[in-house]
Structure 1
Amino acid sequence: MTTTDAPIATELLPRLRRCTAPLHDEIEALLRLGAPMPLARYGRILRGFHEFLQLWEQRVRHALPESLRPWFDARRRAPFAARDLTALALPDDPAMRAAARASQHRLRLDTPAAALGSLYVLEGSALGGQVLTPMLQARHGLTPEHGTAYFHGFGARTGAMWREFRQLAEAQAGADEADRAAACRAAVQTFQALIETFAPVGHAASDLPTATATSPDTGAAGATAR
């Protein structure tokens, strides 16, 4: 049985959590955000998110109904990642760019429900960024103004924005079984695309210690939330 063949739940968010659980664990093991984070490795992870989001945000926006596009525009985070790359003067990374572009073939974002399922993955990841940001400040002296704008995101507003997303996703894609299935499929595909994007990081980090345990909602300091 594949992850998208999980028993049907009457609510969208519990179903999304269940169908993506194995992939959530896989990307946590790949990124190891709870482990000691050398600055060079942090830079590659940041670059990976930036390269992925530049393509992904355009596709999600196109798939959403016009009425939701201003809502989505107000929570885009690719500009935060770009700001961090500039602040840290990080070099270009052709391997990360190629992996991010190649990963897009996994994503089928052709309906609003699929867009919301994909958004579930990235919206959830913002929660864990609130855990990672102080760790980076303690280890490297980075701040939201210099180097952690992406993971800091919207700061104190993050929890409220996550609750708002959950309510909107349930209202827009939770009532119809076809929409729930499309959302779940897109969430699974988004995790798979992120795992493909960050494969170069995993290959370069085989000697790093295993991440410490974290809560099921924030993940390993926030790669993605369940």
Structure 2
Amino acid sequence: MSLLTALRCGTREAHTRLEDDLDVLTRCRDARSYVLLLQAFRSLYAPLEQALAVAPSTGSVVPDFADRRKTAWLDEDLAALGSRAQPGLEVPAITCAEDVAGTCYVLEGATLGGAVVVRRLADSGGPPLPSRFFSSYGSRRGAMWSAFRGHLGALDARGVDRARTVSAARRTFALFEQACR
């Protein structure tokens, strides 16, 4: 079983629970609800991205990490709505390659769901809401996901503690749940 398959299987329940509990589309029904959703995401992304930025193994696991940071996109959307960030969550230190891989798996996977949100926002018939964050990489979304899968494959080939990687991903899903309560 590959690392990617281990992550998919090992986080399936957490992923499903988050999707069910989060109900992003309901949270996009009006500008106020949307601001609260963006603030919740920002309260998680900013500290996680900062922890990843200072983790010694981030560059070896995700060499293009700087291109994957999304906090500025959240700030852009919040500013367009006349709002700003709320305090960030306290997140655990990211101390090893497994922590980096598990955390980034969840953050990068969220970009795939963002495409669904952008389509639903466009089809909602409501007033247009800024969607830089959910649009993420735009037309490069597929290529960025493919490159990330390659990063996971390279880490897997070097040898990785899959259980610890899955644990880090589950922890990240739990942080999403905490941020969005």
Coarse TM-score class (shorter-chain normalised): 0.7 to 0.9
Q: How does 1:102-113 map to 2 (within 5 A)?
A: 102=90, 104=91, 107-113=92-98
Q: Residue 173 of structure 2: which of 185, 191, 195 is its match? A: 191
- Return the offset for 1:137: 2.9
**CA shift for structure 1 position 40:** 1.7
**Mapped pair 1:128 → 2:113:** yes
2:82 aligned with 1:83, yes or no? no
CA deviations on 1:65-91 (whole Å, 9 max, x unpaired) are 445676100111110000000001126
Aligned partner letter, 2:17? E
Q: 1:112 to 1:30 in 2, by over 3 A?
A: same
**For the residues of structure 1 that align with 2:12 and 2:173, how far apart are their CA atoms?**
10
Number of corresponding residues? 178
Instruction: Specify which of 114, 128, 148 is matched with residue 99 of structure 2.
Output: 114
Q: Could you tell me which residue of structure 2 aligns to residue 176 of structure 1?
A: 159
What is the Cα deviation at residue 92 of structure 1? 5.7
1:32 matched to 2:23? The reply is: yes
Moved more, 155-164 or 60-69: 60-69
Gaps of 5+ in 1: 1-9, 200-226
Q: 1:206 corresponds to which residue?
A: none
What whole-Å deviation, never above 9, does each CA across 1:8-27 have from its counterpart, x for those lacking one?
xx200111011111111111
Counterpart AA for 1:160? A
Distance change (3 Å), C-alpha of 1:142 and 1:131: same
Structure-2 change in CA distance of 1:16 and 1:193 (3 Å): same
User: Match of 1:209?
Assistant: none
Aligned partner of residue 101 in structure 1, secondary structure: coil
Query: Match for residue 135 of structure 2?
Result: 152
Once residues 85 and 127 of structure 1 are traced to their aligned partners in structure 2, the CA distance between those partners, rounded to angstroms, is 21
User: Contact 1:121–1:191 (CA<8 Å) still a contact in 2?
Assistant: yes
**Cα–Cα, structure 1 residues 183 and 174, in superposed 2: closer, same or farther, change >3 Å?**
farther
Q: Distance in 1 between matches of 2:29 and 2:58?
A: 39
SS of the equivalent of 1:33 reads coil
Specify the SS of the correspondent of 1:74: helix
Residues in 1 aligned to 2:108 and 2:54: alpha-carbon distance in whole angstroms: 17
Determine the C-alpha separation between the residues in 1 that align with 2:70 and 2:93: 21
Q: Tell me the TM-score normalized by structure 1.
A: 0.71
Q: Any unmatched runs of 5+ in structure 2?
A: none
TM-score, scaled to structure 2: 0.88
Supply the distance in 2 between the matched residues of 1:195 and 1:82 (Cα, whole angstroms). Answer: 21
Name the residue aligned to 1:216.
none
Tell me: CA distance 1:125–1:174, structure 2 relative to 1, closer, same or farther (3 Å).
farther
Match of 2:89 among 90, 98, 101: 101
User: Pairwise mapping of residues 55-66 of structure 1 onto structure 2 (< 5 A)?
Assistant: 55-63=47-55, 64-66=57-59
Of the three residues 147, 156, 181, the one matched with 1:164 is 147
